[in-house]
Structure 1
Amino acid sequence: MIVWVSLLWILESIDRVSGGALDTFGIQPRDASELRDVIPAAFTHFGFEHLAANTLPLLVLGFLAAALSGTRRFLGVVLMITLASGLGVWLVAPDNSNTAGASGVVFGLFGYLLVRGFVDRRITDVLIGVVVAVLYGSILWGVLPTNQMVSWQGHLFGLLGGVAAAFYFSDRKGRGRPPAPAA
Protein backbone atom coordinates (compact mmCIF):
# COMPACT_ATOMS: atom_id res chain seq x y z
CA MET A 1 0.00 0.00 0.00
CA ILE A 2 2.86 2.36 0.72
CA VAL A 3 4.25 1.73 -2.77
CA TRP A 4 0.83 2.33 -4.34
CA VAL A 5 0.19 5.54 -2.41
CA SER A 6 3.75 6.70 -3.16
CA LEU A 7 3.04 6.16 -6.86
CA LEU A 8 -0.09 8.33 -6.54
CA TRP A 9 1.98 11.13 -4.97
CA ILE A 10 4.65 10.82 -7.68
CA LEU A 11 1.98 10.99 -10.37
CA GLU A 12 0.40 14.07 -8.78
CA SER A 13 3.86 15.70 -8.58
CA ILE A 14 4.33 15.01 -12.30
CA ASP A 15 0.86 16.41 -12.94
CA ARG A 16 1.70 19.59 -11.01
CA VAL A 17 5.03 20.10 -12.79
CA SER A 18 3.39 19.46 -16.19
CA GLY A 19 0.62 21.98 -15.58
CA GLY A 20 -2.14 19.39 -15.15
CA ALA A 21 -1.27 17.22 -18.15
CA LEU A 22 -2.41 14.05 -16.34
CA ASP A 23 -5.86 15.50 -15.66
CA THR A 24 -6.77 14.35 -19.17
CA PHE A 25 -6.88 10.81 -17.73
CA GLY A 26 -10.06 11.68 -15.86
CA ILE A 27 -13.31 10.17 -17.10
CA GLN A 28 -15.57 12.26 -19.30
CA PRO A 29 -18.95 10.52 -19.40
CA ARG A 30 -20.53 8.73 -22.33
CA ASP A 31 -17.67 9.35 -24.75
CA ALA A 32 -16.55 5.94 -26.03
CA SER A 33 -12.93 7.07 -26.30
CA GLU A 34 -12.97 7.82 -22.56
CA LEU A 35 -13.46 4.16 -21.64
CA ARG A 36 -9.68 3.81 -21.88
CA ASP A 37 -9.42 6.19 -18.89
CA VAL A 38 -11.57 4.11 -16.52
CA ILE A 39 -8.51 2.58 -14.82
CA PRO A 40 -6.00 5.47 -15.09
CA ALA A 41 -8.57 7.86 -13.57
CA ALA A 42 -8.20 6.06 -10.23
CA PHE A 43 -4.49 6.98 -10.23
CA THR A 44 -4.82 10.68 -11.04
CA HIS A 45 -6.05 13.47 -8.80
CA PHE A 46 -6.96 17.12 -9.19
CA GLY A 47 -4.35 18.53 -6.81
CA PHE A 48 -2.53 17.56 -3.64
CA GLU A 49 -5.52 18.35 -1.42
CA HIS A 50 -7.61 15.88 -3.39
CA LEU A 51 -4.90 13.23 -3.09
CA ALA A 52 -4.32 13.95 0.61
CA ALA A 53 -8.02 13.37 1.32
CA ASN A 54 -7.74 9.88 -0.20
CA THR A 55 -4.32 8.91 1.19
CA LEU A 56 -5.04 7.86 4.79
CA PRO A 57 -8.27 5.94 4.09
CA LEU A 58 -6.61 4.25 1.11
CA LEU A 59 -3.65 3.21 3.26
CA VAL A 60 -5.78 1.93 6.15
CA LEU A 61 -8.54 0.22 4.19
CA GLY A 62 -6.14 -1.07 1.55
CA PHE A 63 -3.80 -2.52 4.15
CA LEU A 64 -6.69 -4.26 5.93
CA ALA A 65 -8.13 -5.65 2.70
CA ALA A 66 -4.72 -6.85 1.49
CA ALA A 67 -3.84 -8.40 4.86
CA LEU A 68 -7.16 -10.24 5.07
CA SER A 69 -7.35 -11.29 1.42
CA GLY A 70 -3.81 -11.87 0.25
CA THR A 71 -2.15 -10.01 -2.59
CA ARG A 72 -3.73 -11.83 -5.54
CA ARG A 73 -7.27 -11.55 -4.27
CA PHE A 74 -6.66 -7.97 -3.17
CA LEU A 75 -5.55 -7.02 -6.69
CA GLY A 76 -8.69 -8.66 -8.11
CA VAL A 77 -10.86 -6.82 -5.60
CA VAL A 78 -9.25 -3.47 -6.46
CA LEU A 79 -9.59 -4.11 -10.19
CA MET A 80 -13.28 -4.96 -9.79
CA ILE A 81 -13.86 -1.85 -7.68
CA THR A 82 -11.95 0.38 -10.10
CA LEU A 83 -13.93 -0.93 -13.07
CA ALA A 84 -17.28 -0.59 -11.26
CA SER A 85 -16.52 2.94 -10.08
CA GLY A 86 -15.12 4.10 -13.41
CA LEU A 87 -17.86 2.56 -15.53
CA GLY A 88 -20.50 3.96 -13.17
CA VAL A 89 -19.01 7.43 -13.57
CA TRP A 90 -18.84 6.98 -17.33
CA LEU A 91 -22.53 6.00 -17.43
CA VAL A 92 -24.16 8.50 -15.06
CA ALA A 93 -21.87 11.46 -14.33
CA PRO A 94 -23.08 14.82 -15.64
CA ASP A 95 -22.17 15.95 -19.16
CA ASN A 96 -19.01 18.03 -19.46
CA SER A 97 -17.57 16.68 -16.20
CA ASN A 98 -14.14 15.19 -15.66
CA THR A 99 -13.80 12.68 -12.82
CA ALA A 100 -10.60 11.29 -11.36
CA GLY A 101 -9.22 10.10 -8.03
CA ALA A 102 -8.91 7.07 -5.80
CA SER A 103 -12.00 7.82 -3.73
CA GLY A 104 -14.06 5.26 -5.68
CA VAL A 105 -11.48 2.67 -4.61
CA VAL A 106 -11.67 3.93 -1.01
CA PHE A 107 -15.46 3.53 -0.99
CA GLY A 108 -15.10 0.11 -2.63
CA LEU A 109 -12.61 -1.13 -0.05
CA PHE A 110 -14.94 0.17 2.66
CA GLY A 111 -17.85 -1.81 1.16
CA TYR A 112 -15.68 -4.90 0.69
CA LEU A 113 -14.46 -4.89 4.29
CA LEU A 114 -17.95 -4.15 5.60
CA VAL A 115 -19.58 -7.10 3.84
CA ARG A 116 -16.84 -9.72 3.45
CA GLY A 117 -17.13 -11.16 6.97
CA PHE A 118 -20.87 -11.74 6.58
CA VAL A 119 -20.41 -13.33 3.16
CA ASP A 120 -17.62 -15.64 4.34
CA ARG A 121 -19.32 -16.19 7.72
CA ARG A 122 -16.20 -15.44 9.75
CA ILE A 123 -16.77 -13.69 13.05
CA THR A 124 -13.30 -12.11 13.07
CA ASP A 125 -13.95 -10.50 9.68
CA VAL A 126 -17.43 -9.39 10.80
CA LEU A 127 -15.81 -7.67 13.78
CA ILE A 128 -13.26 -6.00 11.50
CA GLY A 129 -16.16 -4.83 9.34
CA VAL A 130 -17.86 -3.37 12.42
CA VAL A 131 -14.67 -1.51 13.39
CA VAL A 132 -14.34 -0.21 9.82
CA ALA A 133 -17.99 0.93 9.95
CA VAL A 134 -17.41 2.78 13.22
CA LEU A 135 -14.19 4.44 12.00
CA TYR A 136 -15.22 5.24 8.43
CA GLY A 137 -19.02 4.94 8.36
CA SER A 138 -19.46 8.67 7.94
CA ILE A 139 -18.05 8.42 4.41
CA LEU A 140 -21.40 6.97 3.37
CA TRP A 141 -22.64 10.56 3.08
CA GLY A 142 -20.33 10.75 0.05
CA VAL A 143 -22.66 8.54 -2.00
CA LEU A 144 -25.32 11.24 -1.89
CA PRO A 145 -25.44 14.03 -4.49
CA THR A 146 -24.78 16.85 -2.01
CA ASN A 147 -21.79 18.58 -3.66
CA GLN A 148 -21.43 19.18 -7.39
CA MET A 149 -17.63 19.15 -7.05
CA VAL A 150 -17.57 15.63 -5.60
CA SER A 151 -18.29 12.54 -7.68
CA TRP A 152 -20.98 10.80 -5.70
CA GLN A 153 -21.29 8.54 -8.76
CA GLY A 154 -17.72 7.28 -8.33
CA HIS A 155 -18.31 6.80 -4.61
CA LEU A 156 -21.60 4.95 -5.06
CA PHE A 157 -20.41 2.64 -7.82
CA GLY A 158 -17.13 2.06 -5.99
CA LEU A 159 -19.09 1.02 -2.89
CA LEU A 160 -21.28 -1.29 -4.97
CA GLY A 161 -18.17 -2.71 -6.66
CA GLY A 162 -16.66 -3.47 -3.25
CA VAL A 163 -19.81 -5.26 -2.10
CA ALA A 164 -19.89 -7.24 -5.36
CA ALA A 165 -16.20 -8.11 -4.90
CA ALA A 166 -16.95 -9.49 -1.42
CA PHE A 167 -19.36 -11.94 -3.02
CA TYR A 168 -17.31 -12.69 -6.13
CA PHE A 169 -14.07 -13.33 -4.22
CA SER A 170 -15.78 -15.10 -1.33
CA ASP A 171 -14.13 -18.08 0.33
CA ARG A 172 -17.60 -19.65 0.37
CA LYS A 173 -18.09 -19.35 -3.39
CA GLY A 174 -18.90 -22.78 -4.70
CA ARG A 175 -19.66 -24.26 -1.28
CA GLY A 176 -23.04 -25.83 -0.86
CA ARG A 177 -23.26 -26.85 -4.48
CA PRO A 178 -23.52 -30.52 -5.25
CA PRO A 179 -20.29 -32.05 -6.56
CA ALA A 180 -19.97 -32.38 -10.31
CA PRO A 181 -20.70 -35.88 -11.56
CA ALA A 182 -17.66 -38.05 -12.18
CA ALA A 183 -16.93 -38.81 -15.80
Structure 2
Amino acid sequence: MSQDEHFKFSTGVVAYPIFFVLSIWMVFWFEVRFGYNFSKYGIYPQSLKGLRGVLLSPFIHGDIKHIYHNTIPLFVLSMALFYFYRHIAWKVILFGILISGILTWSIGRPSYHIGASGFIYVLVSFTFFKGVFAKHYRLIALSLLVVFLYGSMIWYTLPIEEGISWEGHLAGLVTGLLFALFFKKEIAKPKKYIWELENFNEADDPFLRQFDENGNFIESKHEEKEQEQSINYIYKENKKD
Protein backbone atom coordinates (compact mmCIF):
# COMPACT_ATOMS: atom_id res chain seq x y z
CA MET A 1 0.00 0.00 0.00
CA SER A 2 1.41 3.37 -1.00
CA GLN A 3 2.04 6.24 1.36
CA ASP A 4 -0.79 8.25 -0.20
CA GLU A 5 -3.23 5.45 0.61
CA HIS A 6 -2.09 5.46 4.24
CA PHE A 7 -2.65 9.18 4.72
CA LYS A 8 -5.92 9.73 2.93
CA PHE A 9 -9.01 11.46 4.26
CA SER A 10 -12.36 9.69 3.89
CA THR A 11 -15.82 9.99 5.40
CA GLY A 12 -15.00 7.11 7.75
CA VAL A 13 -12.30 9.17 9.44
CA VAL A 14 -15.04 11.27 11.06
CA ALA A 15 -18.13 9.06 10.73
CA TYR A 16 -16.85 6.05 12.67
CA PRO A 17 -15.52 8.06 15.65
CA ILE A 18 -18.83 9.91 15.83
CA PHE A 19 -20.64 6.57 15.80
CA PHE A 20 -18.50 5.30 18.71
CA VAL A 21 -19.14 8.41 20.77
CA LEU A 22 -22.87 8.42 20.05
CA SER A 23 -23.10 4.74 21.00
CA ILE A 24 -21.71 5.21 24.50
CA TRP A 25 -23.85 8.33 25.03
CA MET A 26 -26.99 6.53 23.87
CA VAL A 27 -26.37 3.72 26.36
CA PHE A 28 -25.78 6.27 29.13
CA TRP A 29 -28.93 8.18 28.15
CA PHE A 30 -30.96 4.98 28.24
CA GLU A 31 -29.72 4.22 31.77
CA VAL A 32 -30.58 7.70 33.03
CA ARG A 33 -33.90 7.98 31.18
CA PHE A 34 -35.33 4.61 32.26
CA GLY A 35 -33.50 4.18 35.56
CA TYR A 36 -31.32 1.22 34.63
CA ASN A 37 -27.84 0.43 35.88
CA PHE A 38 -25.75 -1.59 33.47
CA SER A 39 -22.66 -1.80 35.69
CA LYS A 40 -23.39 -5.48 36.35
CA TYR A 41 -22.65 -6.10 32.66
CA GLY A 42 -19.08 -4.91 33.07
CA ILE A 43 -15.99 -7.08 33.37
CA TYR A 44 -15.94 -9.09 36.59
CA PRO A 45 -12.52 -10.80 36.81
CA GLN A 46 -12.16 -14.56 37.17
CA SER A 47 -15.88 -15.08 36.65
CA LEU A 48 -17.46 -16.78 33.65
CA LYS A 49 -20.41 -14.43 33.87
CA GLY A 50 -18.01 -11.51 34.01
CA LEU A 51 -16.60 -12.40 30.57
CA ARG A 52 -19.57 -10.75 28.90
CA GLY A 53 -18.13 -7.44 30.02
CA VAL A 54 -15.19 -7.91 27.65
CA LEU A 55 -17.44 -6.71 24.81
CA LEU A 56 -20.01 -4.71 26.78
CA SER A 57 -17.92 -2.73 29.28
CA PRO A 58 -16.61 -0.07 26.81
CA PHE A 59 -20.22 1.12 26.36
CA ILE A 60 -21.01 1.36 30.08
CA HIS A 61 -20.12 4.36 32.28
CA GLY A 62 -20.79 5.13 35.90
CA ASP A 63 -21.72 8.81 35.74
CA ILE A 64 -21.62 11.94 33.58
CA LYS A 65 -18.07 12.77 34.65
CA HIS A 66 -16.86 9.33 33.69
CA ILE A 67 -18.36 9.39 30.20
CA TYR A 68 -17.33 13.02 29.60
CA HIS A 69 -13.65 12.31 30.34
CA ASN A 70 -13.70 9.38 27.90
CA THR A 71 -15.56 11.13 25.07
CA ILE A 72 -12.90 13.54 23.78
CA PRO A 73 -9.91 11.14 23.81
CA LEU A 74 -12.04 8.41 22.21
CA PHE A 75 -13.10 10.75 19.41
CA VAL A 76 -9.65 12.28 18.77
CA LEU A 77 -7.66 9.05 18.93
CA SER A 78 -10.11 7.03 16.82
CA MET A 79 -10.00 9.78 14.18
CA ALA A 80 -6.20 9.56 14.14
CA LEU A 81 -6.46 5.78 13.88
CA PHE A 82 -8.73 5.87 10.83
CA TYR A 83 -6.71 8.60 9.13
CA PHE A 84 -3.18 7.27 9.62
CA TYR A 85 -3.89 3.53 9.88
CA ARG A 86 -7.09 3.10 7.93
CA HIS A 87 -6.18 -0.34 6.55
CA ILE A 88 -5.79 -1.88 10.03
CA ALA A 89 -8.11 0.37 12.03
CA TRP A 90 -10.91 -2.17 12.49
CA LYS A 91 -8.45 -4.86 13.52
CA VAL A 92 -7.02 -2.58 16.19
CA ILE A 93 -10.51 -1.70 17.43
CA LEU A 94 -12.02 -5.18 17.55
CA PHE A 95 -8.97 -7.08 18.79
CA GLY A 96 -8.01 -4.18 21.04
CA ILE A 97 -11.32 -4.33 22.90
CA LEU A 98 -11.20 -8.14 23.03
CA ILE A 99 -7.58 -8.60 24.18
CA SER A 100 -7.48 -5.70 26.64
CA GLY A 101 -10.79 -6.92 28.08
CA ILE A 102 -9.48 -10.46 28.55
CA LEU A 103 -6.31 -9.14 30.21
CA THR A 104 -8.43 -7.02 32.55
CA TRP A 105 -10.55 -10.07 33.35
CA SER A 106 -7.36 -12.02 34.13
CA ILE A 107 -5.56 -9.53 36.38
CA GLY A 108 -8.36 -7.34 37.75
CA ARG A 109 -9.66 -7.06 41.29
CA PRO A 110 -13.01 -8.71 42.14
CA SER A 111 -15.12 -5.74 41.09
CA TYR A 112 -17.03 -4.55 38.04
CA HIS A 113 -14.73 -2.83 35.54
CA ILE A 114 -16.60 -0.51 33.17
CA GLY A 115 -15.89 2.29 30.71
CA ALA A 116 -14.07 2.91 27.43
CA SER A 117 -10.86 3.99 29.15
CA GLY A 118 -9.22 0.59 28.66
CA PHE A 119 -9.76 0.85 24.92
CA ILE A 120 -8.56 4.47 24.97
CA TYR A 121 -5.29 3.25 26.50
CA VAL A 122 -5.03 0.78 23.60
CA LEU A 123 -5.26 3.69 21.15
CA VAL A 124 -2.81 5.89 23.08
CA SER A 125 -0.25 3.11 23.38
CA PHE A 126 -0.63 1.88 19.81
CA THR A 127 -0.45 5.38 18.30
CA PHE A 128 2.62 6.34 20.32
CA PHE A 129 4.71 3.18 19.88
CA LYS A 130 3.81 2.66 16.24
CA GLY A 131 4.88 6.21 15.43
CA VAL A 132 8.22 5.58 17.16
CA PHE A 133 8.76 2.30 15.30
CA ALA A 134 7.75 3.79 11.94
CA LYS A 135 10.48 6.47 11.83
CA HIS A 136 8.16 8.45 9.56
CA TYR A 137 8.01 12.17 10.24
CA ARG A 138 4.20 12.35 10.20
CA LEU A 139 3.76 9.40 12.54
CA ILE A 140 6.50 10.61 14.86
CA ALA A 141 4.78 14.00 15.02
CA LEU A 142 1.54 12.20 15.88
CA SER A 143 3.34 10.29 18.66
CA LEU A 144 4.69 13.50 20.13
CA LEU A 145 1.21 15.04 20.01
CA VAL A 146 -0.22 12.02 21.84
CA VAL A 147 2.46 12.33 24.52
CA PHE A 148 1.70 16.03 24.89
CA LEU A 149 -2.06 15.51 25.18
CA TYR A 150 -2.28 12.22 27.04
CA GLY A 151 1.16 11.53 28.48
CA SER A 152 -0.07 12.03 32.04
CA MET A 153 -2.40 9.06 31.60
CA ILE A 154 0.55 6.74 32.23
CA TRP A 155 0.18 7.32 35.97
CA TYR A 156 -3.29 5.80 35.94
CA THR A 157 -1.85 2.42 34.99
CA LEU A 158 -0.75 2.27 38.64
CA PRO A 159 -3.00 1.86 41.70
CA ILE A 160 -2.71 5.51 42.75
CA GLU A 161 -6.41 6.37 42.98
CA GLU A 162 -9.21 4.34 44.48
CA GLY A 163 -12.22 3.58 42.32
CA ILE A 164 -10.27 3.63 39.03
CA SER A 165 -9.63 0.44 37.09
CA TRP A 166 -5.86 0.74 36.77
CA GLU A 167 -5.86 -2.92 35.67
CA GLY A 168 -7.95 -2.00 32.62
CA HIS A 169 -5.62 0.89 31.84
CA LEU A 170 -2.54 -1.31 32.17
CA ALA A 171 -4.15 -3.99 30.00
CA GLY A 172 -4.87 -1.39 27.32
CA LEU A 173 -1.32 -0.04 27.44
CA VAL A 174 0.19 -3.51 27.03
CA THR A 175 -2.26 -4.41 24.25
CA GLY A 176 -1.41 -1.25 22.28
CA LEU A 177 2.31 -1.97 22.54
CA LEU A 178 1.80 -5.55 21.34
CA PHE A 179 -0.23 -4.30 18.38
CA ALA A 180 2.48 -1.78 17.46
CA LEU A 181 4.97 -4.66 17.35
CA PHE A 182 2.64 -7.10 15.60
CA PHE A 183 1.63 -4.62 12.88
CA LYS A 184 5.19 -3.34 12.48
CA LYS A 185 5.23 -4.21 8.76
CA GLU A 186 2.04 -2.26 8.21
CA ILE A 187 3.87 1.06 8.36
CA ALA A 188 3.79 3.83 5.80
CA LYS A 189 7.39 4.47 4.84
CA PRO A 190 8.76 7.71 3.42
CA LYS A 191 8.97 7.86 -0.36
CA LYS A 192 12.34 6.76 -1.68
CA TYR A 193 14.39 8.58 -4.23
CA ILE A 194 13.97 6.92 -7.58
CA TRP A 195 17.57 5.66 -7.65
CA GLU A 196 17.02 3.88 -4.28
CA LEU A 197 14.43 1.53 -5.74
CA GLU A 198 15.56 -2.09 -6.22
CA ASN A 199 14.22 -2.38 -9.78
CA PHE A 200 15.55 1.00 -10.88
CA ASN A 201 17.44 1.05 -14.19
CA GLU A 202 19.33 4.21 -15.14
CA ALA A 203 18.84 3.46 -18.82
CA ASP A 204 15.09 3.77 -18.39
CA ASP A 205 15.19 7.20 -16.80
CA PRO A 206 14.76 9.99 -19.39
CA PHE A 207 16.51 12.54 -17.22
CA LEU A 208 19.65 10.49 -16.54
CA ARG A 209 19.90 9.57 -20.24
CA GLN A 210 20.84 13.18 -20.90
CA PHE A 211 24.20 12.66 -19.13
CA ASP A 212 27.21 10.49 -19.95
CA GLU A 213 29.24 8.35 -17.52
CA ASN A 214 31.30 11.38 -16.48
CA GLY A 215 28.20 13.46 -15.72
CA ASN A 216 28.53 15.64 -18.82
CA PHE A 217 25.36 16.77 -20.55
CA ILE A 218 24.69 15.00 -23.85
CA GLU A 219 23.09 17.18 -26.48
CA SER A 220 20.53 15.39 -28.60
CA LYS A 221 20.71 15.42 -32.40
CA HIS A 222 17.55 17.49 -32.46
CA GLU A 223 19.15 20.13 -30.26
CA GLU A 224 22.34 20.06 -32.34
CA LYS A 225 20.30 20.61 -35.49
CA GLU A 226 18.43 23.54 -33.92
CA GLN A 227 21.72 25.10 -32.82
CA GLU A 228 23.20 24.65 -36.31
CA GLN A 229 20.15 26.30 -37.89
CA SER A 230 20.40 29.18 -35.45
CA ILE A 231 24.07 29.70 -36.24
CA ASN A 232 23.40 29.62 -40.01
CA TYR A 233 20.58 32.12 -39.62
CA ILE A 234 22.77 34.52 -37.63
CA TYR A 235 25.59 34.11 -40.18
CA LYS A 236 23.25 34.92 -43.09
CA GLU A 237 21.83 37.98 -41.33
CA ASN A 238 25.31 39.29 -40.59
CA LYS A 239 26.36 38.68 -44.20
CA LYS A 240 23.41 40.76 -45.48
CA ASP A 241 24.46 43.66 -43.28
Q: TM-score normalised to the size of structure 1?
A: 0.87
Show the counterpart of 2:143: 129
Sequence identity (%): 29
Question: Secondary structure at the residue paired with 1:38?
Answer: helix
Show the counterpart of 2:69: 53
Show the counterpart of 2:99: 84
What is the rounded CA distance, in whole Å, between the counterparts of 1:99 and 1:172 in structure 2? Answer: 32
Q: CA deviation at 1:77?
A: 0.6
Higher relative contact order (CA 8 A, sep 6+): 1
What is the rounded CA distance, in whole Å, between the counterparts of 1:20 and 1:169 in structure 2? Answer: 40
User: Could you say if the C-alpha distance between residues 21 and 172 of structure 1 is closer, same or farther in structure 2, counting changes exceeding 3 Å?
Assistant: closer
Show the counterpart of 1:26: 42
Question: Secondary structure at the residue paired with 2:131?
Answer: helix
What is the rounded CA distance, in whole Å, between the counterparts of 2:175 and 2:36 in structure 1? Answer: 29
Question: Secondary structure at the residue paired with 2:155?
Answer: helix
Show the counterpart of 1:177: none
What is the rounded CA distance, in whole Å, between the counterparts of 1:5 and 1:153 in structure 2? Answer: 23
What is the rounded CA distance, in whole Å, between the counterparts of 1:120 and 1:172 in structure 2? Answer: 9
Show the counterpart of 2:170: 156
Show the counterpart of 1:181: none
Show the counterpart of 2:51: 35
Q: Do the aligned partners of 1:15 and 1:23 also contact (CA within 8 Å) in 2?
A: no
Larger radius of gyration: 2
Q: Work out which of the residue numbers 105, 115, 118 in structure 1 matches 2:119.
A: 105
Q: Deviations over 1:112-164 (max 9, x none)?
A: 11011233332220121011111210111110101120000000110111111
Q: CA RMSD in A?
A: 1.6
Q: Deviations over 1:59-101 (max 9, x none)?
A: 111111111111x511111222212321122112212x11110
The one-letter amino acid of 2:53's match is D
Question: Secondary structure at the residue paired with 1:170?
Answer: coil
| Deviation beyond 4 Å, 4+ runs, structure 1 | none
Q: Do the aligned partners of 2:42 and 2:52 also contact (CA within 8 Å) in 1?
A: no
Q: Work out which of the residue numbers 68, 73, 92 in structure 1 matches 2:88.
A: 73
Mean alpha-carbon deviation: is it higher for 73-82 or for 100-109? 73-82
Q: CA deviation at 1:39?
A: 1.1
Q: CA deviation at 1:172?
A: 4.7
What is the rounded CA distance, in whole Å, between the counterparts of 1:68 and 1:145 in structure 2? Answer: 33
What is the rounded CA distance, in whole Å, between the counterparts of 2:135 and 2:144 in structure 1? Answer: 14
Q: Which runs of 5+ in 2 are unaligned?
A: 1-16, 188-241
Show the counterpart of 2:25: 9
Q: How many residues align?
A: 171
Q: Which runs of 5+ in 1 are unaligned?
A: 174-183
What is the rounded CA distance, in whole Å, between the counterparts of 1:80 and 1:139 in structure 2? Answer: 22
Question: Secondary structure at the residue paired with 2:160?
Answer: coil
